[in-house]
Amino acid sequence: MNRIKTDLLVIGAGSGGLSVAAGAAQMGADVTLLEGGKMGGDCLNYGCIPSKALIASGKAAHAQAHASPYGIADVVPQVDYAAAKDHVHDIISQIEPHDSQARFQGLGVRVIREYGRFISQTEVQAGDHVITARRIVIATGSSPLVPPIPGLDSVPHETNETLFDLREKPDHLLIVGGGPIGMEMAQAHRRLGCKVTVIEGAKALGKDDPETAGVVLDALRGEGIEIAEDAMASEIRGTKGAIEVEAEDGRLFKGSHLLIAVGRKPNIDRLNLDAAGIETTRSGIEVDNALKSTNRRVYAIGDVAGGLQFTHVAGYHAGIVIRSALFGLPAKAGTAHIPWVTYTAPELAQIGLTEAQAREAHGDRIEIVRFPYSQNDRATAERQTTGLIKVMILRGRPVGVSIAGAQAGELINLWALAMANGLKMKHVANMVAPYPTMGELNKRVAGAYFSPRLFDNSKVKTIVGLVQRWLP
């Protein structure tokens, strides 16, 4: 047995683990990194990157079929589904070197390609290695949740871990789950020529603001996607090419392929956490606001920590851990300033409180301002006028922003900056945005907040009148 002593042991080479390992090694720590699967984790191999690449294929096909408003003849796109998947894997291969074992070894990280399991509170076994570490970071991520729906175990189905290897274009794709993954893949496949039905047990995009989510759902239905809500799947049956999903209320959905996209489960089964005195919850490893587990030497970050499940959250957690584990400085993780985006067309972005959450938390003290895409000149020029931006404001500060529309994921960046740094609406209003850009929407919604204070205010009008009388 090969024994290793290290300053920092990172278990999992997904986005969060890689960020910790790279940062710590470059700051002089002795770092050991364990990964039994693929370097880059879910985001590179099965999630963010391949899904956005397939969405890009769908966007290209959709543009060909809907070019006439721009003076270009519509054509029926000739979709080669297998070639679209080749595009997906080409994109993955272009990014892989950044997450590769060779790169991290070049940074000074000791990389061991084995899964790790605790054998004591301070020791982890990985293959024939036993590693003792001053601090340990668990960054093992999550996997697709496959629910115990009767019949599912005997019916061929895809998850996000298998979908991007599928080479045959589905004739009719059934998607169980109407969250971000389900809706993104629904639109991508519809644009690539598949018939698509989404089967959601509650409300589609139910974690987002209903008003802005409604804008997106209307657009998806307009493209021919069937979205069945309040349709809890009770039984699944059939064979390859002929699959049926029956809902509790008796509705029956038939298709050729099935994608399960109902959520995620933390990757903790291999870790033998009991040996380390680490407690868990239903959603993952129990951590405090410093991301420490019940074993104070062990941190958990990203999806496995049971909070918001986004790649950028794992990266944010990495910074918290580096501050704490390497420098011994106090550092706490928050969620109020964390944005998220669903990359449909139109996009759906959110940060902080939704309108309903803001009203529940702050009552009448909350002010809501909206500004429509239809009043933005760049959106008009590009015929992308569907959508709106909505800001929830408490005493002059934004506490939540919901955006549905083109480039919503880019527009939310400004609000992430504002909310992370405690900026007020006046700071956004003071910004000079280049014309014509979608970014003007952010300035215009800030202007909508101040307009009634300036233009519908009798005191302001009185002051202006008095000043005008005295000016030469």
Spacing of C-alpha 262 from chain mean position: 14
> What pLDDT is attached to residue 378?
98
Residue 373 lies in a domain: yes
Spacing of C-alpha 41 from chain mean position: 15
On whether the CB atoms of residues 20 and 321 are closer than 8 A, the answer is: yes
The encoded tokens of residue 453 equal: 């204070």
Q: Is the alpha carbon torsion for 260, 264, 270, 272 positive or negative?
A: negative
- Is 52 annotated for ligand binding? yes
- Is 69 annotated for ligand binding? no
Is the pLDDT at 463 greater than 70? The verdict is: no
On whether the CB atoms of residues 320 and 333 are closer than 8 A, the answer is: yes
- Beta strands at 242-247 and 252-255: parallel, antiparallel or unpaired: antiparallel
Dihedral angle of Cα 398, 404, 410, 412, to the nearest 10 degrees: 10
Confidence label for 452 from pLDDT (cuts 50, 70 and 90) = confident
On whether the CB atoms of residues 20 and 8 are closer than 8 A, the answer is: yes
CB atoms near residue 117 (< 10 Å):
18
Is the pLDDT at 281 greater than 70? The verdict is: yes
* 16-41: burial string, b at 16+ Cβ within 10 Å, e else: bbbbbbbbbbeeebbbbbbbbbbbbb
The DSSP result for 292-307, as a single string, is B-SSTTEEE-GGGGTS
3-class secondary structure, 320? helix
Let me know whether 183 and 254 are in one domain: yes
On whether the CB atoms of residues 233 and 247 are closer than 8 A, the answer is: yes
> What pLDDT is attached to residue 80?
98
Let me know whether 170 and 273 are in one domain: no
Let me know whether 287 and 423 are in one domain: no
Residue 398 lies in a domain: yes
Helix (H) or strand (E) holding 259: strand 257-260
> What pLDDT is attached to residue 461?
63
The encoded tokens of residue 105 equal: 């070894």
Confidence label for 462 from pLDDT (cuts 50, 70 and 90) = low
Dihedral angle of Cα 73, 77, 78, 80, to the nearest 10 degrees: 150
Let me know whether 110 and 249 are in one domain: no
3-class secondary structure, 30? coil
Total domains in the chain come to 3
Residue 273 lies in a domain: yes
Let me know whether 34 and 112 are in one domain: yes
Let me know whether 252 and 196 are in one domain: yes
Is the pLDDT at 118 greater than 90? The verdict is: yes
- Is 293 annotated for ligand binding? no
- Is 170 annotated for ligand binding? no
Among all chains, which residue has been given the structure tokens 């399960």? Answer: 260
Each residue's pLDDT tens digit, 194-237: 999 999 999 999 999 999 999 999 999 999 999 999 999 999 99
- Residue range(s) defining the domain that contains residue 129: 2-39+100-143+265-327
- The closest alpha carbon to 137, from 236, 22, 2, belongs to 22
Rounded average pLDDT over 365-383 = 98
Let me know whether 274 and 404 are in one domain: no
Each residue's pLDDT tens digit, 402-441: 999 999 999 999 999 999 999 999 999 999 999 999 999 9
The encoded tokens of residue 15 equal: 């986005």
Let me know whether 252 and 389 are in one domain: no
The encoded tokens of residue 2 equal: 């090969």
Q: Among 263, 286, 314, where does a domain finish?
A: 263
Angle at 267 between CA 262 and CA 273, to 5 degrees: 140
CA 125 to CA 140: how far, in whole Å?
15
The encoded tokens of residue 63 equal: 């543009």
CATH of the domain at 176: 3.50.50.60
Separation in Å, CA 119 to CA 2, 266, 296: 14, 20, 16
Residue 124 lies in a domain: yes
* 54-73: burial string, b at 16+ Cβ within 10 Å, e else: bbbbbeebbebeeeeeeeee
- Is 210 annotated for ligand binding? no
> What pLDDT is attached to residue 465?
65
Q: Length of the chain, please?
A: 472
Q: Among 246, 263, 280, where does a domain finish?
A: 263
Confidence label for 471 from pLDDT (cuts 50, 70 and 90) = confident
Residue 45 lies in a domain: no
On whether the CB atoms of residues 174 and 222 are closer than 8 A, the answer is: no
Q: Among 304, 327, 350, where does a domain finish?
A: 327
Side chain identity at 81, as an amino acid letter? Answer: Y
The encoded tokens of residue 316 equal: 């944010």
- Is 465 annotated for ligand binding? no
Q: Of all residues in the chain, what percent carry a pLDDT higher than 90? A: 92
Let me know whether 273 and 178 are in one domain: no
- Is 200 annotated for ligand binding? yes
pLDDT averaged over the chain?
95
> What pLDDT is attached to residue 211?
98
Angle at 15 between CA 27 and CA 413, to 5 degrees: 95
> What pLDDT is attached to residue 456?
62
Let me know whether 344 and 278 are in one domain: no
Separation in Å, CA 34 to CA 100, 229, 304, 325: 13, 42, 15, 18
Residue 77 lies in a domain: no
CA 321 to CA 331: how far, in whole Å?
8
- Is 183 annotated for ligand binding? yes
- Is 74 annotated for ligand binding? no
Let me know whether 316 and 387 are in one domain: no
Let me know whether 8 and 137 are in one domain: yes
Alpha helices in 223-261 (DSSP H): none
- Is 116 annotated for ligand binding? yes
Each residue's pLDDT tens digit, 307-364: 888 999 999 999 999 999 888 888 899 999 999 999 999 999 999 999 999 999 999 9
Helix (H) or strand (E) holding 180: helix 180-191
pTM reported for the whole predicted model: 0.94
